């Protein structure tokens, strides 16, 4: 035993030396991208990035243990999962967390169950997500749309039953399940539609021609162009010009209906004019940082969606939906975009990409750590500056890079630690969160120098409880050591103590006392005491040990695997002497194994504990198996050349016929067969593979059950191989003309190809190619047209036993394009236009074509018949060019002159100021019978000879004059409707309107400053000046039509208005006359008077203008409010304002505060009253001046009984007086006592009391 310990110690020492410099690390990957989070149900790759991936590794994932270098895991539920990777060769571990997000959900409701064809419907998605929804994926049965907005409006142009469904993607990158489909019925007939000439519904000018597609072209069609304009007619081609470029929704409808009463309707967006794209992007970004792509049309009329914009850049990484972009390498880049719908517009911008720092974090120690041990964190960065550390226990600290953060956690648990750094260009990076797992289980096993640096202890394998303790701090000698309260002296640097056995894995409490009288902290220790032992469980039969059953062999309940460094297992067949299983590993505490035959097996476990010098123990157990033993093999040919066929299996099982119960064959293709009688030793099965793989093999399982209850279980793979050969070839284009040598691509899929070779035959020529190499075939002659059949064959399987061949008829075609057409209704050419010609395409052998009408490309339609609208008398040409698949060209053309007078309309002036006079002239060499003029301003002129005329436009506006000319008999009396190429624009005059004279009162704040305003029909540029030059009197913007002025003397203000069109500039003069305002003042602005007294305020009035008008406010107790100094009686505290105005309307005012002092002499209470309702002296109440309020007022009889009482009422208020009643009854005549407590306006309180006589 001692020799084993020494040799193992040497081996472990070598391993520890080998550990130097080793690192353990890993990252998460999803769809080849590094991630820190994923989605529920997704498969995440865990990529091992350790310094030496040849070591033995263990993954701990959600309770599972996986023993591979790299692995994958399917996270079925959302949550945060700690992942632990351990290098079994070094014992180093690392833990990282991955966040698994909950999948979003998507649903929607139909607001109605049916709509009419051509109508739109709003769809609102009902979603749930832990973030935000980034994309909505709709399928409307007509087409699929991806949008970023919710709700969405969709137009149904095809009738029928539509199954609609939705799924979404959120900002976490998680996709929802597809919603339950909803059915919408689209009623009506889909028998009318339209397209544009280029079939892409756009025009680069503001005009677009639309072609009608309908089963019935004779009925009326209604066109709504989406710009407020509409048209009705039977024409099959219609041209419309829009006022401005943009996106418009055009609706085509008829009044024909089906049984659902829905009109035929077709709606489609069209794009006219050229947009002007502009990119909105940041000037600079950081590497590996995504930013949103944003571009819009500066005209503001197109509103392109993200799917309608095509982005490109150098070295950038676009998101899958092309809505965001990131760069992995620093530098300067061009970002480009163009629209893929409508007339193309391109835009570009420059982006500077700054380098994001790198950041690597190392942790010592790692794995599960005792909470008493400090942990060191170091972050290494290249261009980062300081490191900001954040720990989920609330700790935050900023250190210089490469500095060490040392931290001790107070409690057990899992803690997230992140490090963040930034570059000088503000690019920052945060390390993936590291999780530190702390435990309070800090029991010292005698092997952890990090946990205990005060003493160590050890014992021998044959006497584990005789323990030697060693002082690790010689400079601080021990006095004694206390174990579970028993004190043992410590005379040297070590002492040996026999510990009493308590139980396996029990802990002992240890306290060291130093000779200097101090103590170490209390520590718990345990003795590693593990002995090899295991259990054996038959997983297939709880009561019998049967052959070909799976057994679980486990040390659970016997051994603490945390104390074991290595398990060595061996299973021997005693009957044959063969070792059928041998394995060793640090984590083999349990495994499953199939005992293959009826025999006796010895299972042996040799176990090494984790001591520095490990203790080794061995345990063995015998298992004797019984029952049937299944076995089989392929009989006859095990290779089938086709994916369908019958195979024969020979049953070689060892079965006791007397105890046989049944056998079940599982052929691996979903088919099973049960046999209950042993009447044959072979079995047949028919395989039928319909997949796409080049070959398939099946796993065959045989289960045999006997009457004793044993069931054998045997699975074999690769017994039969079924080939599924596929021959497939193609050419890059279907027809050749100019090309002589054709490349034929071999897309075949055949496994085990003989000599890796295919054989070809084209006409009488034979070829060979290696594997899927393309074949080059050269046309041997100049014969056109000419077709070639191509035959390809191959041999495959073992020694080429299988073969296959296929002939592809007319695969190679050599045809030259022929351009040919004829005008179906050419008889119309001899009639007056307008009319529509139907041109039938009779070309052949072409890929695409181009129609050119009168030198302008008009149509690239591949339809058999196209239409051409002949609008007026003129010269016309039609040319058809057909293009072969490899640049061959053929052309055909036809020219004609339509019937009628040919002419143009011209004029001399297109734009001028009101009034505009221009000369309109018809230019023609043909004979003209009549001229019908319409000048666009409601005036007309009809003449048989006036081919030119002057016309005056008196009102501003845009005019489109026209003239209809009628030919003579020589030109068929045909009409020609002529118009100008541009509208005539009559510009409006500025037409200034204003007041010539104003009056300004100086010193009068109520009219300061003075507002001068002019009115104009148009114009935005104004300039004001003054005479004399008093520009400073203009207190507002001098370029506005309105200004504010404060002149000190009579002043002229001049306005210059600049025209924005062809009309002349205009000017105006505004005169402001000034006058002095009067001055009003009081000797003092405050005075005090006695209540009820008459007084005068004696104001001072200064005015250089004789007559003034006066006004006092308020008029309370004022004898005359319209005179300069009226008499006033003092009543309550009050403020009076006097205003004085002269004959020019200039006014001034001043105010004075009057304080009134009251006294009993100004208060009046009658000595008697007669409450007989005669309207005189019917109530007894307090009267007087200067009384603010009556605080308390009551009436009592001679015995002191109170008959009437009021509190906090006003004086002089008849309604608050006593009406001679007591409790509703009339009080008798007599003498009564009154009492009144009054509050004066200045706040003084005084009392009135006495008697009053009530007279009846």
- Cα(186)–Cα(202) distance, rounded to whole angstroms? 27
- At residue 114's C-alpha, the angle toward residues 152 and 270, to 5°, is 45
Task: For residue range 782-811, list pLDDT tens digits in order.
Answer: 888 899 999 999 999 999 999 999 999 988
- What is the torsional sign of CA 621, 625, 630, 633? positive
CA-based nearest residue to 910, from 960, 844, 853 = 960
Q: How confident is the model at residue 199 (pLDDT cuts 50, 70, 90)?
A: low
What are residue 601's DSSP bridge partners? 573, 623
Domain boundaries, the chain: 28-101, 105-187, 192-272, 277-354, 359-430, 472-527, 534-624, 632-723, 729-814, 925-987, 997-1069, 1079-1157, 1160-1254
Is residue 18 pLDDT above 70, yes or no?
Answer: no
Residue 498 reports pLDDT greater than 90? yes
Q: Which residue is associated with the tokens 């309105």?
A: 1042
Task: Report the largest interatomic distance among the alpha carbons of the chain, rounded to a whole angstrom.
Answer: 153
Each residue of 430-450: pLDDT tens digit?
775 677 777 777 889 988 667
Q: What is the DSSP string of 110-176?
A: -S-SEEETT-EEEE-EEEE-SS-EEEEEEE-SS-EEEESSSSEEEE--S-EEEEEEEEEEETTSPBP
Lowest mean pLDDT among 438-452, 1077-1091, 1207-1221: 438-452
Where residue 433 falls (left for φ over 0; alpha for ψ -120 to 50; beta otherwise) is beta
Which numeric CATH code is attached to 1160-1254? Answer: 2.60.40.1220
Judged against a pLDDT cut of 80, whether residue 626 lies above it is answered with yes
- The class that CATH gives domain 277-354 is mainly beta
What pLDDT is recorded for position 144?
59
Question: In this structure, is the dihedral angle defined by the CA atoms of residues 1086, 1092, 1093 and 1096, taken in order, positive or negative?
Answer: positive
Give the rounded percent of residues in the chain with a pLDDT score beyond 70. Answer: 95
> Is the confidence at residue 258, as pLDDT, over 60?
no
Q: Which residue pairs from 571-576 have beta carbons closer than 8 angstroms and sit at least 24 positions apart in sequence?
A: 571/595, 571/601, 571/602, 571/603, 571/604, 572/601, 572/602, 572/604, 573/597, 573/599, 573/600, 573/601, 574/599, 574/600, 574/601, 574/602, 574/622, 575/599, 575/600
Q: Is the peptide bond before 1009 cis (omega within 30 degrees of 0)?
A: yes
Q: Which of 658, 884, 856 minimizes the C-alpha distance to 207?
A: 856
The top-level CATH class assigned to 192-272 is mainly beta
Question: Do strands 1225-1226 and 1230-1240 pair parallel, antiparallel, or not at all (unpaired)?
Answer: unpaired
Q: Pick one of 2.60.40.420, 2.40.30.10, 2.60.40.10, 3.30.70.260 as the CATH number of 28-101.
A: 2.60.40.10
Q: pLDDT tens across 892-940, in order?
A: 999 999 999 999 999 999 999 999 999 999 999 899 999 999 999 999 9
**What pLDDT score does 827 carry?**
92
980-1006 per-position pLDDT tens digit:
989 999 999 999 999 999 988 887 655
pLDDT tens digits for 61-106?
877 777 778 877 778 788 899 999 988 878 788 989 999 999 899 9
| Residue recorded with tokens 């001055």 | 1079
Q: Quickly state the pLDDT bin for 1113 (edges 50, 70, 90).
A: very high
- The pLDDT of residue 1161: 59
How many CB atoms neighbour CB 305 within 10 A? Answer: 12
- pLDDT, greater one: 12 or 746: 746
Q: Say what the pLDDT of residue 969 is.
A: 86
Q: What's the CATH code, domain 359-430? A: 2.60.40
Distance, in Å, from the CA atom of 101 to the CA atom of 173, rounded to the nearest integer, reads: 9
Class of domain 1079-1157: mainly beta
Class of domain 534-624: mainly beta
Residue 317 has pLDDT above 90, yes or no: no
E-assigned strands of 637-764?
639-640, 644-651, 660-666, 672-675, 682-688, 695-697, 700-706, 711-716, 721-723, 729-731, 741-746, 753-762
pLDDT > 60? residue 259? no
The topology under which CATH files domain 632-723 is Immunoglobulin-like (2.60.40)
Q: What is the pLDDT of residue 159?
A: 82
Helix (H) or strand (E) holding 2: helix 2-19
Eight-class DSSP state of 1040 = S
Return the CATH fold of 925-987: Immunoglobulin-like (2.60.40)
Contact 1139, 1080 (CB under 8 A): yes
State the average pLDDT over residues 588-593.
Answer: 86
135 pLDDT exceeds 80?
yes
Q: Model's pTM, two decimal places?
A: 0.44
**Domain 28-101 shares a fold with domain 359-430:** yes
CA dist., res. 1048 & res. 1034, Å (int): 11
Query: What does R_g of the chain's alpha carbons equal in angstroms?
Result: 53
Alpha carbon 645 to chain centroid, angstroms: 53
Give the chain's end-to-end CA distance (angstroms, integer).
Answer: 139
Q: What is the pLDDT of residue 322?
A: 66
The fraction of the chain above a pLDDT of 90, given in percent, is 40
CATH superfamily of 105-187: Immunoglobulins (2.60.40.10)
* Mean pLDDT in residue range 1154-1164: 75
pLDDT of residue 1137: 94
Choose from 128-142, 156-170, 654-668, 851-865 the range with maximum mean pLDDT.
Answer: 654-668
Task: Give the model confidence (pLDDT) of 167-191 as tens digits.
Answer: 888 888 888 877 777 899 888 776 7
């Amino acid at each position: 035993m001692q020799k084993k310990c020494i040799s193992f110690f040497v081996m472990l020492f070598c391993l520890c030396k080998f550990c130097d410099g080793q690192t353990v690390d890993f990252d998460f990957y999803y769809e080849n991208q590094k991630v820190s989070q994923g989605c529920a149900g997704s498969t995440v790759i865990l990529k091992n990035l350790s310094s030496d991936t040849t070591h033995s590794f263990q993954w701990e994932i959600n309770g599972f243990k996986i023993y591979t270098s790299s692995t994958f895991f399917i996270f079925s539920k959302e949550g945060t999962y700690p992942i632990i990777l351990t290098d079994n060769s070094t014992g180093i571990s690392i833990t990282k967390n991955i966040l698994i997000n909950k999948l979003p959900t998507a649903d929607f409701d139909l607001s109605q169950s049916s709509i009419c064809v051509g109508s739109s419907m709003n769809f609102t998605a009902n979603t749930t997500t832990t973030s935000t929804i980034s994309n909505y994926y709709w399928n409307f049965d007509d087409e699929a749309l991806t949008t970023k907005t919710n709700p969405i409006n969709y137009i149904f142009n095809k009738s029928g039953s539509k199954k609609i469904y939705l799924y979404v993607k959120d900002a976490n990158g998680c996709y929802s399940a597809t919603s339950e489909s909803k059915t919408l019925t689209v009623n009506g007939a889909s028998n009318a539609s339209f397209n544009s000439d280029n079939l892409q519904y756009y025009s680069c000018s503001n005009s677009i021609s639309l072609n009608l597609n309908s089963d019935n072209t004779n009925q009326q069609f209604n066109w709504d162009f989406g710009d407020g304009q509409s048209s009705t007619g039977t024409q099959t081609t219609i041209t419309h010009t829009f006022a401005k470029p943009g996106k418009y929704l055009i609706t085509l409808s008829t009044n024909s209906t089906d049984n659902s009463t829905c009109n035929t309707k077709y709606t489609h967006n069209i794009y006219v004019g050229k947009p002007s794209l502009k990119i909105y992007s940041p000037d600079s970004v950081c590497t590996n940082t995504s930013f949103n792509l944003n571009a819009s049309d500066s005209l503001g009329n197109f509103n392109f969606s993200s799917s309608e914009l095509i982005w490109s850049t150098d070295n950038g990484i676009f998101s899958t939906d092309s809505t965001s972009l990131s760069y992995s390498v620093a530098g300067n880049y061009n970002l480009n975009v163009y629209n893929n719908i409508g007339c193309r517009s391109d835009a570009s911008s420059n982006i500077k990409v700054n380098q994001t720092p790198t950041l690597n974090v190392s942790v010592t120690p790692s794995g599960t750590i005792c909470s008493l041990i400090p942990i060191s964190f170091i972050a290494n960065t290249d261009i980062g500056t300081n490191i900001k550390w954040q720990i989920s226990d609330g700790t935050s600290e900023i250190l210089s890079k490469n500095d060490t953060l040392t931290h001790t956690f107070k409690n057990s648990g899992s803690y997230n630690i992140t490090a963040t750094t930034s570059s000088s260009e503000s690019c920052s990076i945060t390390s993936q969160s590291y999780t530190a797992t702390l435990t309070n289980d800090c029991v010292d096993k005698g092997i952890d120098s990090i946990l205990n640096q005060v003493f160590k202890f050890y014992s021998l394998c044959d006497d584990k409880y005789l323990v030697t303790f060693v002082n690790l701090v010689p400079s601080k000698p021990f006095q004694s050591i206390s174990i579970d309260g028993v004190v043992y002296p410590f005379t040297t640097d070590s002492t040996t103590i026999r510990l009493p056995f308590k139980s396996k894995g029990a802990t002992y409490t240890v306290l060291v006392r130093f000779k200097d009288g101090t103590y170490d902290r209390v520590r718990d220790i345990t003795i590693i005491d593990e002995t090899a032992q295991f259990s054996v469980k038959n997983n297939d039969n709880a009561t019998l040990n049967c052959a070909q059953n799976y057994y679980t062999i486990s040390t659970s309940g016997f051994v603490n695997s945390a104390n074991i460094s290595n398990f060595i297992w061996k299973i021997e067949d005693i009957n044959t002497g063969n070792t059928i299983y041998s394995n060793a590993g640090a984590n083999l505490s349990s495994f499953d194994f199939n005992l293959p035959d009826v025999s006796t097996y010895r299972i042996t476990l040799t176990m090494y504990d984790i001591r520095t010098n490990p203790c080794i123990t061995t345990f063995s157990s015998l298992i004797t198996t019984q029952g049937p033993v299944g076995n089989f093999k392929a009989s006859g040919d095990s290779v089938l050349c086709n994916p369908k066929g019958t195979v024969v299996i020979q049953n070689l099982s060892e079965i006791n016929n007397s105890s046989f119960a049944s056998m079940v064959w599982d052929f691996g293709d979903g088919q099973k067969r049960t046999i209950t009688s042993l009447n044959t030793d072979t079995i047949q099965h028919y395989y039928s593979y319909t997949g796409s793989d080049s070959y398939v093999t099946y796993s065959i399982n045989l289960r045999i059950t006997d009457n004793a209850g044993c069931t054998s279980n045997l699975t074999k793979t690769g017994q039969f191989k079924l080939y599924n050969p596929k021959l497939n070839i193609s050419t890059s284009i279907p027809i050749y003309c100019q090309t002589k040598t054709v490349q034929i691509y071999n897309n075949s899929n055949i496994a085990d190809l003989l000599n890796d070779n295919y054989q070809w035959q084209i006409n009488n020529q034979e070829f060979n190619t290696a594997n899927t190499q393309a074949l080059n075939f050269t046309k041997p002659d100049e014969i056109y047209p000419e077709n070639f059949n191509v035959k390809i064959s191959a041999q495959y399987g073992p020694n080429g036993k299988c073969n296959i061949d296929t002939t592809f008829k007319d695969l190679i075609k050599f045809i030259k394009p022929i351009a040919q057409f004829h005008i179906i209704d050419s008889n119309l050419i001899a009639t007056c236009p307008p009319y529509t010609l139907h041109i039938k395409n009779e070309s052949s052998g072409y890929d695409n074509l181009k129609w050119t009408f009168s030198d302008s490309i008009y149509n690239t339609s591949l339809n058999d018949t196209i239409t051409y609208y002949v609008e007026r008398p003129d010269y016309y040409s039609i040319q058809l060019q057909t293009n072969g698949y490899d640049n061959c060209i053929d052309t055909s053309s036809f020219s004609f002159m339509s019937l009628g007078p040919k002419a143009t309309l011209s004029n001399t002036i297109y734009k001028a100021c009101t009034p505009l006079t221009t000369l309109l002239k018809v230019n023609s060499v043909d004979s003209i019978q009549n001229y019908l003029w319409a000048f666009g301003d409601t005036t007309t002129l009809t003449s048989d000879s006036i081919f030119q005329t002057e016309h005056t436009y008196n009102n501003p506006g845009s005019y489109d004059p026209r003239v209809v000319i009628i030919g003579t008999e020589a030109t068929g009396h045909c009409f020609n409707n002529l118009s100008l190429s541009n509208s005539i624009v009559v510009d409006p005059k500025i037409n200034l309107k204003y007041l010539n004279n104003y009056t300004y009162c100086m010193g009068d704040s109520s009219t300061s400053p003075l507002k001068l305003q002019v009115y104009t029909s148009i114009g935005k540029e104004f300039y004001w000046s003054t005479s004399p030059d008093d520009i400073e009197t203009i207190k507002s913007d001098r370029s506005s039509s309105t200004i504010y002025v404060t002149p000190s003397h009579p002043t002229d203000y001049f306005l210059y208005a600049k025209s924005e069109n062809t009309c002349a500039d205009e000017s105006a003069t505004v005169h402001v006359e000034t006058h002095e305002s009067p001055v009003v003042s009081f000797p003092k602005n405050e005075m005090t008077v006695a209540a009820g007294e008459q007084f005068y305020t004696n104001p001072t009035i200064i005015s250089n203008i004789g007559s003034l008008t006066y006004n006092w406010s308020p008029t309370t107790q004022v004898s005359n409010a319209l005179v300069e100094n009226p008499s006033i009686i003092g009543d309550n505290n009050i403020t009076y304002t006097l205003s004085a105005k002269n004959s020019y309307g200039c006014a001034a005012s001043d105010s004075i505060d009057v304080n009134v002092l009251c006294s009993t002499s100004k208060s009046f209470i009658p000595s008697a009253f007669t409450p007989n309702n005669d309207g005189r002296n019917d109530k007894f109440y307090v009267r007087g001046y200067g009384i603010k309020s009556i605080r308390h007022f009551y009436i009592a009889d001679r015995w002191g009984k109170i008959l009437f009482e009021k509190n906090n009422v006003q004086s002089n208020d008849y309604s608050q007086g006593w009406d001679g009643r007591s409790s509703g009854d009339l009080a008798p005549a007599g003498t009564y006592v009154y009492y009144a407590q009054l509050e004066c306006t200045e706040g003084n309180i005084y009392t009135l009391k006495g008697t009053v006589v009530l007279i009846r």
